Amino acid sequence: MAIDINNLKTASHAQLRPNRDAGAAGKNTDAATSNTAAPVKTDSVSITAQAQQLQGAQSKMASLPEVDQSKVDAIKLAISEGRYKVDPEKLAANIANFEADLNGLNFDQE
Protein backbone atom coordinates (compact mmCIF):
# COMPACT_ATOMS: atom_id res chain seq x y z
CA MET A 1 0.00 0.00 0.00
CA ALA A 2 1.48 3.34 -1.03
CA ILE A 3 1.14 6.54 0.93
CA ASP A 4 0.27 9.58 -1.13
CA ILE A 5 2.27 12.28 0.64
CA ASN A 6 1.62 14.87 -2.06
CA ASN A 7 -1.93 15.45 -0.84
CA LEU A 8 -1.27 15.59 2.90
CA LYS A 9 -2.18 18.77 4.69
CA THR A 10 0.42 20.15 7.06
CA ALA A 11 -0.48 20.40 10.71
CA SER A 12 1.04 22.53 13.39
CA HIS A 13 2.98 20.95 16.23
CA ALA A 14 0.13 21.85 18.58
CA GLN A 15 -2.22 19.71 16.48
CA LEU A 16 0.21 16.80 16.35
CA ARG A 17 1.12 16.63 20.04
CA PRO A 18 -0.78 17.25 23.25
CA ASN A 19 0.22 20.42 25.04
CA ARG A 20 3.02 19.50 27.46
CA ASP A 21 2.77 22.84 29.19
CA ALA A 22 -0.93 22.56 30.07
CA GLY A 23 -0.13 22.57 33.79
CA ALA A 24 2.03 25.68 33.46
CA ALA A 25 -0.54 27.67 31.47
CA GLY A 26 -1.62 29.79 34.45
CA LYS A 27 1.90 30.45 35.72
CA ASN A 28 3.07 32.74 32.92
CA THR A 29 0.55 35.55 32.49
CA ASP A 30 2.92 37.76 30.47
CA ALA A 31 2.81 35.38 27.51
CA ALA A 32 -0.96 35.07 27.74
CA THR A 33 -1.53 38.83 27.74
CA SER A 34 1.12 39.67 25.14
CA ASN A 35 -0.10 41.07 21.82
CA THR A 36 2.73 39.40 19.84
CA ALA A 37 2.11 35.75 19.10
CA ALA A 38 4.88 33.36 18.16
CA PRO A 39 4.66 32.13 14.56
CA VAL A 40 3.23 28.65 14.17
CA LYS A 41 5.79 26.24 12.79
CA THR A 42 4.72 23.55 10.35
CA ASP A 43 6.44 20.46 9.05
CA SER A 44 7.20 20.04 5.38
CA VAL A 45 8.29 17.22 3.12
CA SER A 46 10.11 17.47 -0.18
CA ILE A 47 10.42 14.63 -2.66
CA THR A 48 13.73 14.15 -4.42
CA ALA A 49 13.95 13.82 -8.17
CA GLN A 50 15.04 10.19 -7.78
CA ALA A 51 11.98 9.39 -5.68
CA GLN A 52 9.77 10.99 -8.33
CA GLN A 53 11.48 8.89 -11.03
CA LEU A 54 10.94 5.77 -8.95
CA GLN A 55 7.27 6.62 -8.55
CA GLY A 56 7.02 7.03 -12.33
CA ALA A 57 8.67 3.65 -12.89
CA GLN A 58 6.24 2.03 -10.44
CA SER A 59 3.31 3.58 -12.29
CA LYS A 60 4.60 2.25 -15.62
CA MET A 61 5.10 -1.23 -14.16
CA ALA A 62 1.59 -1.21 -12.70
CA SER A 63 0.17 -0.52 -16.16
CA LEU A 64 1.93 -3.52 -17.73
CA PRO A 65 -0.21 -6.58 -18.49
CA GLU A 66 -0.25 -9.59 -16.20
CA VAL A 67 1.83 -12.69 -17.02
CA ASP A 68 0.06 -15.26 -19.22
CA GLN A 69 1.06 -18.44 -17.36
CA SER A 70 -0.30 -20.77 -20.05
CA LYS A 71 1.94 -19.10 -22.64
CA VAL A 72 4.94 -19.37 -20.29
CA ASP A 73 4.22 -23.08 -19.77
CA ALA A 74 3.90 -23.65 -23.55
CA ILE A 75 7.27 -21.96 -24.18
CA LYS A 76 8.92 -24.00 -21.40
CA LEU A 77 7.59 -27.19 -22.96
CA ALA A 78 8.78 -26.15 -26.44
CA ILE A 79 12.27 -25.39 -25.04
CA SER A 80 12.47 -28.73 -23.23
CA GLU A 81 11.39 -30.58 -26.40
CA GLY A 82 13.84 -28.65 -28.61
CA ARG A 83 11.07 -27.03 -30.70
CA TYR A 84 11.71 -23.45 -29.58
CA LYS A 85 13.90 -21.54 -32.02
CA VAL A 86 15.52 -18.22 -31.14
CA ASP A 87 15.68 -15.47 -33.77
CA PRO A 88 19.02 -13.77 -32.93
CA GLU A 89 18.14 -10.54 -34.77
CA LYS A 90 14.81 -10.20 -32.98
CA LEU A 91 16.49 -10.98 -29.65
CA ALA A 92 19.15 -8.32 -30.25
CA ALA A 93 16.49 -5.76 -31.18
CA ASN A 94 14.49 -6.56 -28.03
CA ILE A 95 17.60 -6.20 -25.84
CA ALA A 96 18.42 -2.85 -27.46
CA ASN A 97 14.83 -1.65 -26.91
CA PHE A 98 14.93 -2.77 -23.28
CA GLU A 99 18.18 -0.90 -22.66
CA ALA A 100 16.78 2.20 -24.34
CA ASP A 101 13.72 2.02 -22.09
CA LEU A 102 15.95 1.70 -19.01
CA ASN A 103 18.03 4.61 -20.21
CA GLY A 104 14.83 6.63 -20.59
CA LEU A 105 14.10 6.15 -16.88
CA ASN A 106 17.29 8.14 -16.21
CA PHE A 107 18.41 6.54 -12.94
CA ASP A 108 21.55 8.50 -12.23
CA GLN A 109 23.98 7.18 -9.64
CA GLU A 110 25.29 9.93 -7.41
Q: List residues bridging with 12 in a β-sheet.
A: 42
In a domain, 110, yes or no: no
Question: For all residues of the chain together, what is the average pLDDT?
Answer: 76
Domain around 20: 5-105
Instruction: Give the Cα separation of 110 and 17 in Å (integer).
Output: 37
| Structural domains of the chain, count | 1
pLDDT for the residue 60: 86
pLDDT for the residue 45: 86
In a domain, 42, yes or no: yes
User: SS3 of 90, please?
Assistant: helix
* pLDDT digits 0-9 by tens, 41-81: 888 888 898 888 898 888 888 888 888 899 999 999 999 99
In a domain, 78, yes or no: yes
Please, which pLDDT band fits residue 13 given cuts at 50, 70 and 90? very low
In a domain, 86, yes or no: yes
